[in-house]
Amino acid sequence: MIATIQHNSSHFNVDLSKPLDISIPLKASKTNVNAWYLGPPNIEPVKNEDWIGSVKQGAAVNFNTIQFNPHSHGTHTECVGHITEEFHSINKNLKQFFFKAEVISVAPEKYLKDTIISKHQIEFALQNKTCEAVIIRTLPNTKEKKSRQYSNTNWTYLMEDAMTYLVEKGIQHVLIDLPSVDREKDGGQLKSHKAFWNFNGNIRKNCTITELVYVPNKVKDGAYLLNLQIAPFENDATPSKPVLFEIIS
């Protein structure tokens, strides 16, 4: 189904019958993607005296309790409440769900003992393109990302000036295939988070960071319509399902 989208003063077409899901599903398994030193998520039937919430075990319905952490166990979208003493809810702050987005692929650079994404790389990838959201795919890009155990791996992160550059370009939503835009162990500095939300100034409450996406290789770099779907949690972060639609004209 072809739909014509009006975006600001321009129009473009997308095929709504061809969604490109870039989320990582959550499952009760040791192979579930994981970060921040937690065990795997748990999904199990409720047990109430003689009753077990499982059709296989005689119940009329399946009735599972799910225990997980959105930051650790899969694709999630967070607001500035992730780093503030004052409570801010992603469910309250994210009020629109469709954005013009650009997918870019970046091969991280070596920096001291780390690997990083630099301002120069972001500038080169985006050039003069205009969009509201940027999806950053790191290279090499393998399916192993969907089950990687990230704790104590010193993953790639964005340099602070790279994030500042995105803010200057008017980017409201950053999506990345890593557990964090910041270094795994940075002493709580959170430079890229703070730069993105303008933490020490007029906080950008409507802006979000989505982490632990997976962008399949079949999704080419370029312009897309992003549908940023979230679960309605009153929390700083929530599991999310970002879906892309290729702009065809």
For residue 4, pLDDT over 90 is answered with no
For the chain, the first-to-last Cα distance in angstroms comes to: 14
Distance CA 209, CA 86 (A): 18
What is the average pLDDT across 140-154? 98
pLDDT (average), residues 158-177 = 98
Task: Round the average pLDDT of the chain to a whole number and report it.
Answer: 96
Residue 1 has pLDDT above 90, yes or no: no
Distance separating alpha carbons of residues 179 and 90, to the nearest angstrom: 18
> Comparing 7 with 112, which gets the higher pLDDT?
112
How far is the CA of 116 from the CAs of 47, 84, 197, 233, 249, in angstroms? 47, 25, 20, 31, 34
**Predicted pLDDT at 5:** 79
Q: What is the pLDDT of residue 189?
A: 98
> How would residue 126 be classed by pLDDT, with cut points 50, 70 and 90?
very high
R_g (Cα) of the chain, nearest Å: 19
Q: H or E segment at 168? A: helix 160-168
Question: What is the mean predicted confidence (pLDDT) over 147-151?
Answer: 98
Domains of the chain are 2-25+73-246 (3.50.30.50)
pLDDT for the residue 76: 98
**154 with 184: CB under 8 angstroms?**
yes
14's tokens: 């997308």
Q: Under 8 Å CB-to-CB from 51, ≥6 apart: which residues?
A: 59
Of the pLDDT bands very low, low, confident and very high (cuts 50, 70, 90), residue 2 is confident
94, pLDDT greater than 90: yes
Q: Are 233 and 82 in contact (CB under 8 A)?
A: no
Residue 31: pLDDT over 90: yes
Query: Looking at residues 179-201, what average pLDDT do you find?
Result: 97
The confidence band for 44, taking pLDDT boundaries of 50, 70 and 90, is: very high
In the structure, what pLDDT confidence band is assigned to residue 6 with cuts at 50, 70 and 90?
confident
> What residues contact residue 104 under an 8 Å CB cut-off, 6+ apart?
122, 125, 126, 134, 135, 136, 137, 221
CA 10 – CA 104 distance, rounded (Å): 22
CB atoms within 10 A of CB 213: 24
Binning pLDDT at 50, 70 and 90, where does residue 129 land? very high
The model's confidence at residue 3, banded by pLDDT at 50, 70 and 90, is: confident
pTM comes to: 0.96
pLDDT at 101 (0 to 100): 97
Cα-Cα-Cα-Cα dihedral sign, residues 64, 70, 76, 80 = positive
What's the burial of 214, exposed, middle or buried (CB within 10 Å: 0-12/13-18/19+)?
buried
pLDDT of amino acid 56: 97
